[in-house]
């Protein structure tokens, strides 16, 4: 019964089971469809990781499934409801717990991310201003876009919340002659960022954003807000408000979704980002409006993040034999399928318009501002 329902739902999205199309679902276990119907999105992911089903074009599979909103079908099953209630009543993340994401994800190994990312070590959506750009060129376009939106001037002091491996700090210090303080909760990121920014007016701090002090002319946060749960939005924006000059500028770069509230995918939360939570646009606006004026809201995720994720996936697949040899038992075949699933499913979600990327420029006062693209 459940298997029949699953096949009909997939057919509605143009996905066949054991068909000839590259986005077809190839079943290796006769019970897998029924199990997926019982366990929802996490069951789908874990079944793929365990090789119970395959797909040649996983990103296109997810584009079709998500475009037809098949993920919403199982939201009321007991497994999905338990996950939703757990998120709803989860206590706010403490400063100490914030370091868990650094250990679980970003501390996998700097050489791991060096092989997946581009030479700038930027782990956020690239800006493909021109179709022929390489990943590195598109990331530099994004970093420059951020600097131009902030109208950075030489000599200004900038705070980078969630600085990663120092990509923005290095770029802004070199190209715009500003000094940068970057904060991260990843030891591995801090080590590499300090090395990459040596000789520049850049300070890298291994600390939670809530411990930041000082005043800054501009503040930027690229791809970190997705680790801030809704119960901590108040603390987050209070920190930005406290650290920003009265006439400073703040650029928030975050994945978001236009419809619905905050979103926590059980697969992403369990295997990729332990504290991942995608903000809903409405609640994000409500939180922002308590402290700031919105000067610009630029949404450009669908095409740009889709292409970025596919580029990362290509780099990961190319580097996998070397990575597996280097990391041994830490990265096995199940990890490779999990990581490929993570990048492919996210690409499909952006392609289907279920996720977006927001760059939001904020200020304490309603300043005159000309949008930059």
The strand pair at 157-161 and 216-222 is best described as parallel
CA distances from residue 343 to 57, 91, 300 in whole angstroms, order as listed: 12, 29, 18
Q: Are 74 and 37 in contact (CB under 8 A)?
A: yes
* CA–CA separation, 335 and 354 (whole Å): 25
> Distance between CA atoms of 243 and 235, rounded to whole angstroms?
12
Could you count the other beta carbons within 10 Å of the beta carbon of residue 356?
21
E strands present in 216-290? 216-222, 244-256
287 and 237 Cβ atoms separated by less than 8 Å: yes
The pair phi, psi for residue 252, each rounded to 5°, is -105, 120
Residue 68 CA to residue 15 CA, distance in Å, equals: 11
Q: Smallest Cα–Cα separation from 178: which of 203, 195, 206, 161? A: 203
Other residues' Cβ atoms within 10 Å of the Cβ of residue 326 = 14
Active site residues: 346
* Cα–Cα distance measured from residue 144 to residue 170, given in angstroms and rounded to the nearest whole number: 12
Q: Return the ∠ at Cα 272 (arms to 268 and 276), rounded to 5°.
A: 60
Cα dihedral sign for 337, 342, 348, 354?
A: positive
Nearest to 239 by CA among 259, 264, 268, 215: 215
Distances (CA, A) of 12 to 6, 21, 64, 73, 171: 10, 15, 9, 12, 47
């Amino acid at each position: 019964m459940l298997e029949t329902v699953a096949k009909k739902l997939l057919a509605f999205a143009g996905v066949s089971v054991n068909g000839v199309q590259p986005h077809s679902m190839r079943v290796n276990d006769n019970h897998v469809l029924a199990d997926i119907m019982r366990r929802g999105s996490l069951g789908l992911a874990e079944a793929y990781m365990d090789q119970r089903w395959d797909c040649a074009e996983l990103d296109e599979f997810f584009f079709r499934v998500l475009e037809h909103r098949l993920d919403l079908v199982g939201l009321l099953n007991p497994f999905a409801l338990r996950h939703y209630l757990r998120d709803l009543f989860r206590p706010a993340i403490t400063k100490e717990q914030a370091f868990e994401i650094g250990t679980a994800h970003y501390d996998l190994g700097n050489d791991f991310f060096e092989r997946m990312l581009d030479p700038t070590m930027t782990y956020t959506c690239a800006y493909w201003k021109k179709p022929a750009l390489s990943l590195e060129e598109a990331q530099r376009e994004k970093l420059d876009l951020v600097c131009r939106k902030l109208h950075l001037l030489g000599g200004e002091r900038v705070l980078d919340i969630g600085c990663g491996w120092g990509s923005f700090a290095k770029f802004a210090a070199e190209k715009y002659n500003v000094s940068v303080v970057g904060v991260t909760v990843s030891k591995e990121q801090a080590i590499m960022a300090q090395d990459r920014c040596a000789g520049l007016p850049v300070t890298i701090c291994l600390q939670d954003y809530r411990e930041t002090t000082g005043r800054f002319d501009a503040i930027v946060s690229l791809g970190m807000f997705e680790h801030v749960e809704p119960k901590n939005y108040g603390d987050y924006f209070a920190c930005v408000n406290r650290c920003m000059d009265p006439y400073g500028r703040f650029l928030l770069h975050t994945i978001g979704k236009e419809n619905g509230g905050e979103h926590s995918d059980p697969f992403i939360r369990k295997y990729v980002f332990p504290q991942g939570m995608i903000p809903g646009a409405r609640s994000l606006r409500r939180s922002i409006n308590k402290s700031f004026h919105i000067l610009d809201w630029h949404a450009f995720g669908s095409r740009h993040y889709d292409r970025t994720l596919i580029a990362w996936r290509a780099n990961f697949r190319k580097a996998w034999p070397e990575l597996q040899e280097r990391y041994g038992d830490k990265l096995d075949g199940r990890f490779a399928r999990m990581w490929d699933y993570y990048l492919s499913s996210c690409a499909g979600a952006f392609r289907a318009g279920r996720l977006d990327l927001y760059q939001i420029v904020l200020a304490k006062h309603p300043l005159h501002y000309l949008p930059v693209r």
